[in-house]
Amino acid sequence: MPAITVDREHILEVCQVLRDDPDLQFALLADVTAADYLPATPRYEMVYLLACLGGAYANGLPAPARRLRVKVRVPDSDPRIVSVVSVFPGAAWPEREVFDLFGILFDGHPDMRRILMPEDWEGHPLRKDYPVQIRKDTASWQPVQITADEFAENIRQQRELASRYAQSPGRDSQD
């Protein structure tokens, strides 16, 4: 897969051009991830995996279907980069995952909080300097407590909604 390296100050503009240019049409952001290259400098590398879907998604004349890897180096002294959610809304959750596991902040992200680890977790588990043998009980997990009557009521409501949906006007019996 071809790859390009972009300065972190220009990632947003580069993503906009890759998406909007009629000759490029990289309209699909397949994934956002990161790598920790400790002790290298800069330490982190952001990786954006893009795809042009060719004729399946065309902005005017279709561009040829292909993929592209976009890399951005991020220093340990300032582990932050601008969010690309304004260009690719699907980047929201992968950026949160990178923040949660690597500690890289995304400026302008609409909901920058942990997504995989509990809110009270300390550290970022995919960093190379994270202690591997850590054992921590989380205070945030509790089993769901529901009575048999509450469970039965939930089932009754779901069946009622399904029945109403099946009988709604304009529904074809083949749906």
pLDDT at residue 175, as a whole number: 47
Contacts 24+ apart (CB under 8 A), 85-89: 85/109, 85/110, 86/12, 87/12, 87/15, 87/16, 87/19, 88/15, 88/19, 88/29
Residue 58: partners with Cβ closer than 8 Å, 6 or more residues away: 25
pLDDT at residue 141, as a whole number: 62
pLDDT digits (tens, 9 = 90+) for 50-93: 999 988 777 678 899 999 999 999 999 999 999 999 999 999 99
Q: Where do the domains of the chain lie, and which CATH numbers do they carry?
A: 3-107 (3.30.460.80)
HSE, side-chain direction, 13 A CA sphere, residue 14: 17
pTM of the full structure: 0.75
C-alpha–C-alpha distance, residues 93 and 114, integer Å:
10
pLDDT digits (tens, 9 = 90+) for 142-158: 666 788 888 889 888 88
What average pLDDT does range 131-147 have in this prediction? Answer: 70
